[in-house]
Homo-oligomer: A and B are copies of this chain.
Amino acid sequence: TAVRSRDSKLIDLAVIGGDGIGPEVTAEALKVLRVALPEDVKLETTDYALGAEHYLATGEALSEETIEALRRHDAILFGAVGAAPGDTRIPSGLIERGMLLKLRFAFDHYVNLRPSKLWPGTTGPLRGDAPIDFVVVREGTEGPYTGNGGSLRTGTEQEIATEVSINTAFGIERVVRDAFERAQARPRRKLTLVHKNNVLVHAGHLWTRIFHAVATEYPEVTTDYLHVDAATIFLTTQPERFDVIVTDNLFGDILTDLAAAVTGGIGLAASGNVNPTGAFPSMFEPVHGSAPDIAGTGKADPTAAILSAALLLAHLSHPEAAARIESAVEADLAERAELGVRGTAAIGDAIRSRVAE
């Protein structure tokens, strides 16, 4: 499912640093990305100002012109967006919906990819030392995220509010197929469907039906099903049982934050909002937020952004460059406990040096 950029010797990247620590961590990711690429591949970057600051300055979360401009790039490297907590000038959820989700829908990012790994040398919150290494393939364009629903008698004691989860055979099949492809390419070849098909019967049956149908095309992949509530238990008590998980947009939102927590926190979690067809640019970003409390202090950990750059390279058919970054991160993390506190640039430099070796 890797995508070749239009010119295989050029990567034309859009960079959205965003707010807070966003630009600080994408800067480090770019440093590393540059040295990871083969010498004959050129990297061009274009910065886009988006996020809470941009909204306050312009009144726009994401204009149609910006979407058109972003569309022409091979991929997007994204930092983080979000105002300081308590900033009342921006209505809650406006940037999330007006920018983040708008991009996912505009660029048909139907695969929301979240690798979840407990790296050697790091410590998660779980007592056990079981190896954790799985990928969540979260559907990104359907489910309860479509903005359907509404309210009646709004603001009164008789208010009724609905949220409608929309699930299509088309939308489920393409993400399930992508998840089977990824499971097939991994050593353990195991795919777990997570849903709540004992309660959400209509959507649940559709997911289950398509999952079983596609499974017949991947006889080497072992399949499994868990209700979302049970999946949270296993993520905390037997995370080693997971290899690839495929799930709905909302369940995926919940499970991937939990997965990030059990693998040591969102400081290390990378993600991709992927359109596997290549029809639109995919976007790669750390799972963490803009952390306004530490912005400007040089304390932000750029590792998740750097790992996001590796996902980006793998997506753009540079698997060796991606692997070089991952190995460098792995080596850096393995020594981190001994190295003591390092700042944003020091971590970025250290990983870059390893990649350049």
Taking Cβ atoms with an 8 Å cutoff, the residues of A that contact B are: 92-93, 96-97, 101, 123-128, 144-145, 147, 149-151, 153, 155-170, 173, 196-206, 209, 228-230, 232-233, 236-237, 250, 253-254, 256-258, 260-262, 265-266
Whether B170 pairs with A166 at a CB distance below 8 angstroms is: no
A144 CB contacts on chain B under 8 angstroms: 163, 165, 199-200
| Nearest B residue to A148, CB-CB | B162
Q: What's the Cα separation between A239 and B95 when bound, in Å?
A: 29
Task: Provide the main secondary structure of the chain A interface.
Answer: mixed
Name which residue of chain B comes closest to A260, CB basis: B233
Instruction: Knowing A232-B232, A237-B261, say if A202 contacts B169 (CB, 8 Å).
Output: no
Q: Are B236 and A262 in contact (CB under 8 A)?
A: yes
Contacts of A124 in B (CB 8 A): 127
B93 touching A197, Cβ below 8 Å? yes
Whether A165 contacts B167 in the complex (CB less than 8 A), given A196-B250, A198-B93, A258-B233, comes out as no
State which of B93, B209, B253 has its C-beta within 8 Å of the C-beta of A201: B93
Which residues of B sit under 8 angstroms from A200, Cβ to Cβ?
Answer: 144, 149, 163
Q: Bound complex: CA of A237 vs CA of B254, how far in Å?
A: 15
By a CB distance below 8 angstroms, the chain B residues around A228 are 253-254
Q: Which residues of B contact A254 (CB under 8 A)?
A: 228-229, 232, 254
User: How far does the alpha carbon of A6 sit from the alpha carbon of B331 in the complex, in Å?
Assistant: 68
Whether A159 and B165, one on each chain, are in contact in the complex, defined by CB atoms closer than 8 angstroms, is no
The answer to whether A203 and B161 have CB atoms under 8 Å apart is: yes
Q: Which residue of B lies closest to A145 (CB)?
A: B199
